[in-house]
Amino acid sequence: MKAYVFPGQGSQFPGMGKELYENNPAAKALFEQANTILGFRITDTMFNGTEEELKQTKVTQPAIFLHSVVLASTLSNFKPDMVAGHSLGEFSALVANKTLSFEDALVLVSKRALAMQKACEMNPSTMAAILNLDDKVVEAICAEISKEGNVVVAANYNCPGQLVISGSTEGISIACEKLKAAGAKRALVLPVGGAFHSPLMEPARVELEAAINATKFSEPVCPVYQNVNARAVSSPEEIKRNLVAQLTAPVRWTQTMEQMIADGASTFTEVGPGKVLQGLVKKVNKDIEALSA
């Protein structure tokens, strides 16, 4: 069975999508439609902007979504048996399986980016990658720090031996020291301006919930494996609930890949900028075929 996976924030790069725009008239039309919907020429930043300009939240999330969805639209014989997306990538996956229209998903992604940016500005917070330490140990230390008054939680279960934590700036600093002392190979604070997939995103979750509930979700053509529960979902109402919960809940990517493989996925194709997800697939199961679109 063919699985298609879509990347999240951090996979952007200067010049992303330019070749598609210049060489494919249908792709160009979608890019121009996005410029109109967003009310600014996001393509100018995607094609000619610097890394710093691409890091602006109002640009980053719509840019990655746009690159992924436009690329998927150009693939011949694009018939996924199952889809999944890492964090933001879940919106790309929901366009790929026809749960959401391109236009509605782009509007939601833009609202999500702005709501998350606002939530980040309300609390000094960040994330850190913890390498080569058992998940249970990381979870226990995070829980211990949180009890002492600093928010720190497991945020991204990326692959065996790579877990990203999220929380207050002070909490993450304390956690990194304790996790290194507990045997982590590395505890690396990431260059992000907020605690994504943590309780500190609650204001953004509330804002996005209203927008999602006002948007039409259709019956998908294939299941989406969602970040929140790492299992196949086909009910539009359940997809909505999981998409709302995703902002404050962890991304269970390791568990998602394992479940997709257990359910028969034999080939994973990453659709979008970068090659991060296919690397993670290989770390979950080195025998599975993982490709770039």
Please state, for a pLDDT cut of 90, what percent of the chain lies above it.
90
The alpha carbon of 215 is separated from its chain's Cα centroid by a whole number of angstroms, namely 20
Longest dimension (CA), the chain: 57
186, β-bridge pairs: 131
CA-CA distances (angstroms) from residue 27 to 60, 76, 106? 19, 13, 15
Contact assessment for residue 283 and residue 159, using Cβ atoms and an 8 Å cutoff: yes
Write out pLDDT tens, residues 234-289.
999 999 999 999 999 999 999 999 999 999 999 999 999 989 999 999 999 999 99
In the 8-state DSSP scheme, what is residue 201? G
CA quadruple 61, 64, 67, 69: dihedral, nearest 10: -70
Fold that domain 124-189 belongs to in CATH: Alpha-Beta Plaits (3.30.70)
Indicate which residues carry an active-site annotation.
Answer: 87, 197
Res 224 pLDDT > 80: yes
Amino acid at site 114: L
Domain covering 2-120+199-292 in this structure, CATH number = 3.40.366.10
Tell me the mean pLDDT in the region 205-231: 97
Tell me the mean pLDDT in the region 82-98: 98
Q: Which pLDDT belongs to residue 55?
A: 85
Supply the DSSP string of 250-262, one letter for each residue.
Answer: -B-HHHHHHHHHH
Q: Is 136 helix (H, G, I), strand (E, B) or coil?
A: helix
Q: Domain extents for the chain?
A: 2-120+199-292, 124-189
Write out pLDDT tens, residues 101-141.
999 999 999 999 999 999 988 888 999 999 999 999 999 99
Contact assessment for residue 102 and residue 54, using Cβ atoms and an 8 Å cutoff: no
Contact assessment for residue 268 and residue 290, using Cβ atoms and an 8 Å cutoff: yes
Q: Which pLDDT belongs to residue 265?
A: 97
